[in-house]
Structure 1
Amino acid sequence: MRAPALIALFALLASLTACSKRSTEGYPALLPMDEILTDQPLTPDPAPELEARADALRARADTMRNQ
């Protein structure tokens, strides 16, 4: 009865140890909350580019529906 519990505990500890060794390299830097919650517009404004991409996707979807 004790052996399966000890094996499970060892497996849990081993997995937690393996997870803690991961590198944070490649993750974006975190911004302070004050910078995130400002009311200033983004520079440059991404809306026109996103709208153009959305229009292109809609046109592509319409073409695929009509085939």
Structure 2
Amino acid sequence: MRALPLLLCLALPSCTGLPAAVAGRIPEAERVGAPPPLVPLGPLLSQADAPGTPDPGPALSGRAAALNARAAALRRPVLSPAEARRLSGGVETGPLS
């Protein structure tokens, strides 16, 4: 019996239409038009595996080489050896004058 008010509160929003903010984003043709047709999956998969589709291997290997070059450039030391020595000396913490 205690669950009935909760169930009614959850079911009440289903009685309304879409909010204006959501309904305004859906184009009129999609809201009132026919649903898109369902197509069989077999022909789509056969087109994807067809020999006429270009091999992405060379393009991907070129992109991989470019990314590896960028990664190598980012792995370089940021500081010169002189700067690293100076910073490794630390900060002088003597009394302030």
TM-score by length of 1: 0.50
Counterpart of 2:58?
48
Unaligned runs of 5+ in 2: 1-15, 30-38, 78-97
**Offset, 1:41:** 4.0
Q: What is the alpha-carbon root mean square deviation over aligned residues?
A: 3.2
- Would you say how many aligned residue pairs link Structure 1 and Structure 2? 52
- Which structure has the bigger radius of gyration? 2
Counterpart of 1:34?
42
Counterpart of 1:18?
24
Matched residue type, 1:16: V
Distance 1:37 1:55, change over 3 A: same
TM-score by length of 2: 0.38
Percent of aligned pairs with the same amino acid: 39
Unaligned runs of 5+ in 1: 1-8, 24-30
Report which of the two has the higher share of helix: 1
The runs of at least 4 aligned residues of structure 1 exceeding 4 Å deviation read none
Counterpart of 1:61?
71
